[in-house]
Amino acid sequence: MAETLAIRNLHARIAEREILKGVNLTLRKGEVHALMGPNGAGKSTLAYVLMGHPAYEVTEGEVIFKGQNILDLAPEERAHLGLFLAFQYPVAVPGVTLANFLRAAINAKRKAQNPDDPGISLIDFQRLLLDKMRLLGLNPEFAGRYLNDGFSGGEKKRAEVLQMALLEPEFAILDETDSGLDIDALRIVAQGINALRGSERGFLIITHYKRILDYIRSDVVHVLVDGRIVESGGPELADRLEAEGYRRWLEPVA
Amino acid sequence: MPSDVDLLKDIEEYRYGWRTPERYVYKAPKGLSEEVVRKISELKGEPEWMLEYRLRALRHFLQRPMPNWGPDLSDLNFDEIVYYVKPTEREGRSWDEIPPEIKETFERLGIPEAEQKFLAGVGAQYESEMVYHRVKEELERLGVIFKSIEDGLRDHPDLFRQYFGTVVPIEDNKFAALNAAVWSGGSFVYIPPGVKVTQPLQAYFRLNAANIGQFERTLIIVDEGAEAHYVEGCTAPMYSTDSLHTGVIEIIVKRGARFRYTTIQNWSTNVYNLVTQRALVYEGATMAWVDANIGSKVTMKYPSCYLLEPSAHCEILSMAFAKSGQTLDNGGKAIHLAPNTSSKIISKSISKGTGRASYRGLIKVARGATGVRANVVCDALLINEHSRSDTYPYMEVEEADVSIGHEASVSKVGEEQLFYLRSRGLSEEEATTMIVAGFIEPVVKELPMEYAIELNRLIQIEMEGSVG
């Protein structure tokens, strides 16, 4: 049976306001799940809470991965376990090159798995980096730029996917990786994601629009409204949402 | 190398007080007096004019009030300081006297033991002497003079006297006057016209520990069209039992010349580091100060450029990292005295714990200096809740036809930045260190590579235990 990341009855709040009100969702390796929902439904909050953002407080529930509740772990420990979040708004770190950052991240993960690991050699790293950059249509010079500093929207999203490609997570959460991309950039990013698909990896793709799902075939689509999963279904659910919107769940039931 | 018996004898002699300079240890009594100044001059075998100069400086020092601005210097007691120590006394310091935390930093910087002892002022002569000899031969072939300041005065009296004290006069400030009265150690450098020295001149090679003086004095003349880079200090902690370091650095950059002076300051945290660094910059010449400050209890240092002739250019890159208990008051001054001169100041201050790193700078444009371009960027990064940074950007502009830019920013190590980096597998400490390293990158990238690597490693060490 494929390994899972199981979210059970997850409640979370920020500044006294409850955003997640009992989310239940199970991701499986080898599958791509899409998470759709209106603005303010809690999609990004779910992504942040799964990764361990310190501003959010989990009040109830658990997230089980590899036999443990990862909500007890620091963000870096979750990363070491194989979790990855592609940010909707990647943060700039001036003065730190993308290449130096990525090498540090790869080495941190290797060290966490084996304290005696001497780290990736510069030559191996460069080969790996150039390889993945080519896949994402990124110029080698891009690796020498400061992390997300002055990147265009499209460059930021491609840099996120590049990081994912190098860190090879077991479960990847992509928070609106499609937003702000023109159609060409979207196609490249989608190609990059598709290239990482496989039985050893599971995805949660958070999106507003069905557009990205035209390029990345999803196995399951979930609808998040007001902090709860209100419906799950096959890829056809995305088409229905595109046609009908979320009104059905937003209007008070008579 | 003196035998143990000789050393014992020296210590014995020292107990009985003053002796002739050549063979015996000498240490001045605490406090400053005309007698001490005369003794220093006599022990160095100086010409009469230098003695007169020192005495004049002493008189000015004594009547000049303490600065009424800047960091608190009220704990500085001039009567408790020893103003001159004959070098061999310092060489006699034992390795056991060096505080364990400094030894540990040496270890972690991967500095070989012989070098550690040199840096700590234990060994007599460091092995880099051999390397230095090769460098020296090459420099002599080019006609470059690179000597101790004492040898400069003795071997090149006319050149020395022509320039000494012309850049930083006695009356400049109280500490410059103090240095002029009791100076000892430092470098004398002359680069002949058109000569381009490609390797950095490193004070490190020339100095043995004993020469790294409390009251160092350096005089550098870069003749027309010449180019050179001078590096002083090192990233490893400079252990000093002396509580006051007051240096004066005078630089003359003649027409069309290019010169860079790099300081990496890491004094132990008991030291008041009050330094005057200034360059006179002539037509079309470029002067660059790169100033990285990690150590000391209090630092006041504002490298400055006097842009005397048209199209002279000045760059000042300043970096300060203040930890708890430290006040680092750094910055730079660009004095525009001629048309079409330009200056660029970049300051990066980091404050950790209760440390206080500040920027203090001056842009001055004299009347008639038209077409001046000046730009100041000062950024502060606060690591903890209680860290503090202040910015004092002074401007005195007497000319309308100028272009002056000033940008200042203060930022905290942000939760979002930390979370982003941690989500990629870096610990909070690794993430914070990475943010700090990125912040100072604009200064670090200007350092010679081996210094840049060591400085980054040092920042890593300093950042340990700073979070959580």
**Smallest CA–CA separation between B60 and chain A, in Å?**
46
Q: Which of these three, B399, B415, B431, is where a domain ends?
A: B415
| Closest residue to B434, CB basis, from A76, A78, A96 | A96
Residue type, B314: C
A194-197, long-range: CB < 8 A, 24+ apart: A195/A135, A195/A165, A196/A164, A196/A165, A196/A168, A196/A172, A197/A32
What is the pLDDT, as a whole number, of residue B313? 98
B428-444 helix and A98-113 helix, angle to the nearest 10 degrees: 150
What is the pLDDT, as a whole number, of residue A188? 86
Q: Which of these three, B49, B72, B100, is where a domain ends?
A: B100
> Are residues B410 and B448 located together in one domain of the fold?
no
Q: Which site among B424, B441, B447, B453 would you substitute to test the A interface, given the most A Cβ atoms closer than 10 Å to its Cβ?
A: B424
- Kind of pairing between the strands at B356-365 and B227-233: unpaired
What is the pLDDT, as a whole number, of residue B336? 98
> Are residues B150 and B80 located together in one domain of the fold?
no
**How many domains, chain B?**
3
Residues 29-68 of A with CB under 8 A from B: 51-55
First CA to last CA distance, chain A: 43
Least confident of A156-160, A228-232, B77-81, B376-380: B77-81
The answer, for A105 touching chain B at a CB cutoff of 8 Å, is yes
Residue B374: burial class (beta carbons within 10 Å; 0-12, 13-18, 19+): buried
What is the pLDDT, as a whole number, of residue B95? 66
**Smallest CA–CA separation between B298 and chain A, in Å?**
28
> Are residues B405 and B420 located together in one domain of the fold?
no
> Are residues B53 and B145 located together in one domain of the fold?
no
pLDDT band at B208 (very low <50, low <70, confident <90, very high): very low
pLDDT band at B97 (very low <50, low <70, confident <90, very high): low
Q: Of all helices (H) and strands (E), which one includes residue B34?
A: helix B34-43
> Are residues B52 and B189 located together in one domain of the fold?
no
CA distances to B28, B274, B360, B401, B456 from B69, in Å? 31, 13, 11, 31, 32
> Are residues B450 and B408 located together in one domain of the fold?
no
Tokens of A10: 């997850």
Q: Which of these three, B100, B126, B161, is where a domain ends?
A: B100
**Are residues B427 and B434 in contact, defined by beta-carbon separation less than 8 angstroms?**
no
Give residues with Cβ within 8 angstroms of A200, minimum separation 6.
A29, A30, A170
Contact B425 A109 (CB under 8 A): yes
The answer, for B423 touching chain A at a CB cutoff of 8 Å, is yes
pLDDT in tens, B270-283: 889 999 999 999 99
Least CA distance to A104: which residue of chain B?
B426
> Are residues B93 and B124 located together in one domain of the fold?
no
The C-alpha atoms of residue A129 and residue A141 are separated, in whole angstroms, by 11
**Smallest CA–CA separation between A151 and chain B, in Å?**
16
The answer, for B441 touching chain A at a CB cutoff of 8 Å, is yes
Residue B111 lies in a domain: no
> Are residues B387 and B441 located together in one domain of the fold?
no
The C-alpha atoms of residue B86 and residue B184 are separated, in whole angstroms, by 10
The answer, for A122 touching chain B at a CB cutoff of 8 Å, is no
Mean pLDDT, rounded, for B357-376:
96
Mean pLDDT, rounded, for B111-116:
60
Instruction: Give the helix, strand, coil percentages of chain B, each rounded to 5.
Output: 30, 30, 35
The C-alpha atoms of residue B48 and residue A44 are separated, in whole angstroms, by 79
SS3 B59: helix
The C-alpha atoms of residue A194 and residue A32 are separated, in whole angstroms, by 10
Residue B161 lies in a domain: yes
B330 Ramachandran zone, left/alpha/beta (phi>0; psi -120 to 50): beta
Task: Assess whether pLDDT exceeds 90 at residue B113.
Answer: no
SS3 A32: strand
pLDDT band at B142 (very low <50, low <70, confident <90, very high): very high
Contact A104 B426 (CB under 8 A): yes
Residue B109 lies in a domain: no
The answer, for B32 touching chain A at a CB cutoff of 8 Å, is no
The C-alpha atoms of residue B92 and residue B167 are separated, in whole angstroms, by 35
> Are residues B431 and B306 located together in one domain of the fold?
no
- Give A90's contacts in chain B (Cβ within 8 Å): 420
DSSP letter, residue B293: E
Residue B59 lies in a domain: yes
Residue B108 lies in a domain: no
- What domain range is B444 assigned to? 416-468
The answer, for A79 touching chain B at a CB cutoff of 8 Å, is yes
What is the pLDDT, as a whole number, of residue B269? 85
Residue B37 lies in a domain: yes
**Phi, psi at A149, each rounded to 5°:** -85, 110
Residues 157-176 of A with CB under 8 A from B: 163, 167
**Smallest CA–CA separation between A96 and chain B, in Å?**
5
Q: Which site among A45, A96, A97 would you substitute to test the B interface, given the most B Cβ atoms closer than 10 Å to its Cβ?
A: A96
CATH number of the domain bearing residue A225: 3.40.50.300
Q: Which site among A76, A151, A167 would you substitute to test the B interface, given the most B Cβ atoms closer than 10 Å to its Cβ?
A: A76
The answer, for B72 touching chain A at a CB cutoff of 8 Å, is no
The C-alpha atoms of residue A251 and residue A226 are separated, in whole angstroms, by 12
- Give A51's contacts in chain B (Cβ within 8 Å): 419, 423
| Closest residue to A108, CB basis, from B425, B437, B439 | B425
- What domain range is A221 assigned to? 4-250
Tokens of B254: 């003649």
**How many domains, chain A?**
1
A-B interface: how many C-beta pairs under 8 angstroms? 80
pLDDT band at B120 (very low <50, low <70, confident <90, very high): low
Q: Which site among A70, A77, A78, A93 would you substitute to test the B interface, given the most B Cβ atoms closer than 10 Å to its Cβ?
A: A93
> Are residues B338 and B190 located together in one domain of the fold?
yes
**Phi, psi at A20, each rounded to 5°:** -100, 130
pLDDT band at B320 (very low <50, low <70, confident <90, very high): very high
> Are residues B365 and B235 located together in one domain of the fold?
yes
> Are residues B64 and B209 located together in one domain of the fold?
no
What is the pLDDT, as a whole number, of residue B211? 43
- Kind of pairing between the strands at A4-14 and A57-65: antiparallel
Task: Assess whether pLDDT exceeds 90 at residue A112.
Answer: yes
Least CA distance to B444: which residue of chain A?
A95
SS3 A242: helix
**Smallest CA–CA separation between B128 and chain A, in Å?**
30
- Give A85's contacts in chain B (Cβ within 8 Å): 423
| Closest residue to B438, CB basis, from A76, A80, A95 | A95
The C-alpha atoms of residue B280 and residue B312 are separated, in whole angstroms, by 10
